[in-house]
Amino acid sequence: MQTLRSLIENPKAAPRTKIQNGAGRGHLLRYYFLISGLLVAGGLLTSALVEVYYRLHESRETLAQLQKEAAATAAVKIEKFIQDVETAMRSAAKGLDVDRQSAADSKFELKRLLFLAPAISEAVLIAADGREQLRLSRLAVAATRSEKTLADSPAFQHAKNGQSYFGQVYLVRGSEPYITMAVPIEEFKGTIAGVLQSEVNLKYVWDVVSAIKAGKAGYAYAVSRSGDLIAHPEIGLVLQGRNVAELEQVRAAFRPLTGDPRRSLTTARNLRAQAVISSFALIPRLDWAVFIERPASEAYEALYASLVRTSALLLIGLGMAILASYFVARRVMGPLRILEQGSERIASGDLKFRVDLKTGDEMETLAEKFNRMASALQESYANLEEKVAERTRELANANRMLDEASRHKSAFLASMSHELRTPLNAIIGFSEVLLDPSLTVSDDERSQFMTDVWASGKHLLSLINEVLDLAKVESGTMELQFEPAFLQDVFESVQHTMRALAGKKSIDLRVENDESLEQISMDGARVKQVLLNLVGNAIKFTPDGGRVWVKAQRETGRVRVEVGDSGPGIAAAEQERIFQEFQQVESSAKGKPEGTGLGLALAKKFVEMHGGEIWVESEVGRGSRFFFTLPMS
Amino acid sequence: MSASIGWFRDGLRELGYIEGENILIEERYADAELDRLSSLAAELLRLKVEVVVTAGTPGVRAWTKVTKTIPIVFVGAGDPVASGIVASLARPGGNVTGISQFGPELGGKRLEILKEAFPKVTRVAYLWTPDLLGSASGLRGSEIAAPALGVKLQSLPVRTSNDIDGAFAAALKERAQALTAQTAPILNTYKKRVIEFAAKHRLPAIYNQAEWAEAGGLMSYGPNPRDQLQRVAIFVDKILKGAKAADLPVEQPVKFEMVVNLKTAKQIGLTIPANVLRWADEVIK
């Protein structure tokens, strides 16, 4: 107990037990708390990380997709703008007849073109040979039939082949972005009669681009292949002829397509060196690229917000998990400690101690069972004590009985030796007298002496027989001879034997026979012996002139024999004692009575060996009735 | 210029500026007295203005005399590079930027429109103010365009209010058949007189500001003022948000309007041909 206690209180001193199926002593709380905490935390963390990873991935994909679409849409808008100008030009071209038209009509067509397409600030009608026929401008005076030839210009050459031309960006007065556009003038399909060229002010494209929004701070811009800005929300950049070919995303846009087209979502730096998410779409006809850029922080805002949310939830979840594990562990640990202490106290001997645990769960049940165990322990302990006390008493009893028996035996021996010696002394004495030649004995005396010797011898014999019988019975070697016999025969024999004795004291001996009694299986000799003893006693103890009777009565399954007398009766206190060996009724009137005191004891034994009972009913002054039963079957 | 400031205010409002809450506008008018410009500038400077908006080159000049740091946004400067108020259109360089007006070239265009409407006109009186920097190049621009159009220009310089009558007399003496005038503060002040003169003598006239046509002038061709002043508001917004004037390129107008006052035409008894009228952006009836 001491060792245990010290081990518990001083875990470091204890040899460490391996943590296989339990904790080291006293670490259960920490262990379970850690385990459950780690498990839950691990679970939460894993799920959060997986969630975050996939969400990041998805978000990037979604963002890429959205921006790509936005860029495509922007490209469409810008292309449409240019196409509208082209359409206006083609429409004007239809109305132009280079050779046959009057100047006024041509002028009208061009004026109409300028009206339809505000972006065009100048329109030029060129003849098939490249000479300028008519030039109309919003700003400058119209010119007609200048000898200027534009035959070498790329615009003319391209349009001469029947295709629309879109030129490179150039700056007017160093600050106005323009492109040259040209469309063929066809007499009819396939025959080029001239070229219509116009200078298109790209500030109008700026209007389109400025209107394009992406998210909160996203924007669109257009760039030519050479990297010159065509349109940008900050028009200043365009007017300054800013070239943005240095930007990675611009270079990447014009690179021939390689690899994964999905990689169009790139994080790049913009002109202000901010981190942006950049997507582009190409306008192949113009050889332009349109970019949609959003500040990376804004694009990822929603994602970061959700990340922050997830992290916060994770932390809260972790916190709660840790708290929960702790409280759960404690809830188990507390009762366990109480039970531990309870066990200790009971082990130390305080069996009355009971554990008080009201947790409303299995722990409470366990505590109840623990208490019941303690109670059972207490009870059995008490029982044990009782049993011990009982056994001790029984032992004491037995000892006493043994002592008594031993005392009886001593008394018996004492009495026996006396009883035996007395007739032997008489025999020896009388024999000595008869054998002494010096003594003169008369014939009468001789006859008397011989009779005494014979009587003594007979007495001694019966004594010894009885003792031997008793010894046999007690050692269990007495064997009864069971034979069917009639009880009345035994009665008759007894009556015959006792008549004389009864006559001597003028006692009326009545023996009633019952003729109807059938044979009973019995040892006749012993039953006779019993009757002889009972009747002998009755005659002995009844005063002269009294009565003694013997009756037999049938009862269910047995016969009851009664031997009664009108003697002095036997006190209640003596009634049990007389059946014991060497016990005789105290009879102050007669002094020491005759007999060995063995007769009734033997009778009892014999009756009981037959399977019957023997008892006495008597009152002092009212005579005695001895009963014994014999089973019929 | 009172209408102009209204458009400017509109422009600011569209950008989210509410007068009294997040912006304050201090207005000062010199009414064609150029001398007053400097003192007005000084006055506003004392009020600790953060951005200056001024119309015309003289205004810019007056301001650059008193400050080299406060950003100045101009509108209606004909040739800012020639007049020296900016280093170049793309990179103004100093604290001045704004919206120019295509002075020189437009002059020629105006003559063209005039000639188209009145083909018989060959002598055009040209009112201008020599003291205004850049105005000479404006005259030159028109002079270059004139011969090709079959028109002869009569240069009528006006320096002070006294010169106006003299100019009118000279025009009549040379039997001018039409009239045109530059934008200039002094001429603005005498807008009514010029218009009346033209009307009285039944002279077709073309001006460069819609205001003049609205005031009774016969025609005008020039940049859309509302558009311009809204662009000015955008400049102001950019500067207030931290952009440097030196980095903001001077913008040139893209939209030009032709305004025809048919009421005046009727009054004077002039007819605008259909092929010219057709292209008018605004017709005052």
**Hey, are the CB atoms on B279 and A204 less than 8 Å from each other?**
no
Residues of chain B with Cβ-Cβ distance to A137 below 8 Å are 109
Least confident of A320-324, A332-336, A475-479, B101-105: B101-105
Question: How far is Cα A201 from Cα A81, in angstroms, rounded to an integer?
Answer: 12
- For an interface test with A, which of B221, B251, B282 has the most A Cβ atoms less than 10 Å from its Cβ? B251
Residues of chain B with Cβ-Cβ distance to A241 below 8 Å are 90
Give residue A378's pLDDT band: very low, low, confident or very high (50, 70, 90).
Answer: confident
Q: Where in chain B is the domain with CATH 3.40.50.2300?
A: 2-102+224-254, 105-222+257-284
Shortest alpha-carbon distance between residue A69 and chain B (Å): 29
Residues in A 93-122 with any Cβ partner in B closer than 8 A:
108, 111, 115, 118, 121
Shortest alpha-carbon distance between residue A167 and chain B (Å): 20
Q: What is the mean pLDDT of residues A363-392?
A: 86
Residues of chain A with Cβ-Cβ distance to B87 below 8 Å are none
Q: Which of B42, B34, B54, B135 is nearest to B98 (CA)?
A: B54
pLDDT tens by residue, A113-145:
999 999 999 999 998 888 888 889 888 777 776
Give residue A9's pLDDT band: very low, low, confident or very high (50, 70, 90).
Answer: low
- Report the pLDDT value the prediction gives residue B177, as an integer from 0 to 100: 92
Which residue among A176, A236, A241 places its CB closest to the CB of B252?
Answer: A176
With the C-alpha atoms ordered B237, B238, B241, B246, is the resulting torsion angle positive or negative?
negative
Least confident of A326-330, A464-468, B232-236: A326-330
**A239 CB near a chain B CB, below 8 Å?**
yes
**Hey, are the CB atoms on B275 and A108 less than 8 Å from each other?**
yes
**Hey, are the CB atoms on B106 and A176 less than 8 Å from each other?**
no
**Hey, are the CB atoms on A174 and B89 less than 8 Å from each other?**
yes
Question: How far is Cα B190 from Cα B165, in angstroms, rounded to an integer?
Answer: 11
Residues of chain A with Cβ-Cβ distance to B91 below 8 Å are 240
**Hey, are the CB atoms on A139 and B102 less than 8 Å from each other?**
yes
User: How many C-beta neighbours within 10 Å does residue A554 have?
Assistant: 13
**Hey, are the CB atoms on B254 and A204 less than 8 Å from each other?**
yes
In percent, the amount of chain A with pLDDT more than 70 equals: 91
Residues in B 195-224 with any Cβ partner in A closer than 8 A:
none
CATH, domain range B105-222+257-284: 3.40.50.2300
Residue A270 has pLDDT above 60, yes or no: yes
**Hey, are the CB atoms on B279 and A115 less than 8 Å from each other?**
yes
DSSP B191-232: HHHHHHHHHHTT--EEESSHHHHHTT-SEEEEE-HHHHHHHH
Q: Helices then strands (H, E): number in chain A?
A: 15, 19
Which tokens in the block code for residue A213?
């929004």
- Report the pLDDT value the prediction gives residue A21, as an integer from 0 to 100: 45
Residues of chain B with Cβ-Cβ distance to A139 below 8 Å are 102, 105-106, 109, 256
Shortest alpha-carbon distance between residue B105 and chain A (Å): 6
Residue A89 has pLDDT above 90, yes or no: yes
Contact A290, A80 (CB under 8 A): no
Which residue among A141, A173, A239 places its CB closest to the CB of B145?
Answer: A141
- Report the pLDDT value the prediction gives residue A128, as an integer from 0 to 100: 87
Give residue B86's pLDDT band: very low, low, confident or very high (50, 70, 90).
Answer: confident
Pairing of the two strands A275-283 and A266-269: antiparallel
**B90 CB near a chain A CB, below 8 Å?**
yes
Shortest alpha-carbon distance between residue B160 and chain A (Å): 30
Question: How far is Cα A321 from Cα A38, in angstroms, rounded to an integer?
Answer: 9
Which residue among A111, A139, A203 places its CB closest to the CB of B105?
Answer: A139
Q: Which of A348, A512, A173 is nearest to B250 (CA)?
A: A173
pLDDT tens by residue, A194-210:
999 999 998 888 878 88
pLDDT tens by residue, B177-195:
999 988 776 777 788 889 9
Residues of chain B with Cβ-Cβ distance to A201 below 8 Å are 254
Shortest alpha-carbon distance between residue B230 and chain A (Å): 14
**B245 CB near a chain A CB, below 8 Å?**
no
Helices (H), A480-523: 487-504
**Hey, are the CB atoms on B251 and A239 less than 8 Å from each other?**
yes
- Report the pLDDT value the prediction gives residue A90, as an integer from 0 to 100: 93
Residue A474 Cα distances to A372, A391, A530, A584, B154, angstroms: 50, 25, 17, 19, 180
Contact A157, A184 (CB under 8 A): no
Residues 6+ apart with CB under 8 A from A52: A307, A310
Residue A7 has pLDDT above 60, yes or no: no
DSSP for residue A261: G
pLDDT tens by residue, B45-73:
888 888 888 887 778 888 888 888 889 99
Residues of chain B with Cβ-Cβ distance to A143 below 8 Å are 148
Q: Which of A569, A562, A563 is nearest to A541 (CA)?
A: A569
**B252 CB near a chain A CB, below 8 Å?**
yes
B2-102+224-254, superfamily in CATH?
Response regulator (3.40.50.2300)
| Residue B72 or A409, more confident | B72
Residue A438 has pLDDT above 80, yes or no: yes
A522 CB burial (10 A radius; 0-12, 13-18, 19+): buried
**Hey, are the CB atoms on B251 and A235 less than 8 Å from each other?**
yes
Question: How far is Cα B187 from Cα A260, in angstroms, rounded to an integer?
Answer: 67
Residues of chain A with Cβ-Cβ distance to B255 below 8 Å are 118
Residue A182 has pLDDT above 90, yes or no: yes
Amino acid A87 reads T
- Report the pLDDT value the prediction gives residue B117, as an integer from 0 to 100: 92
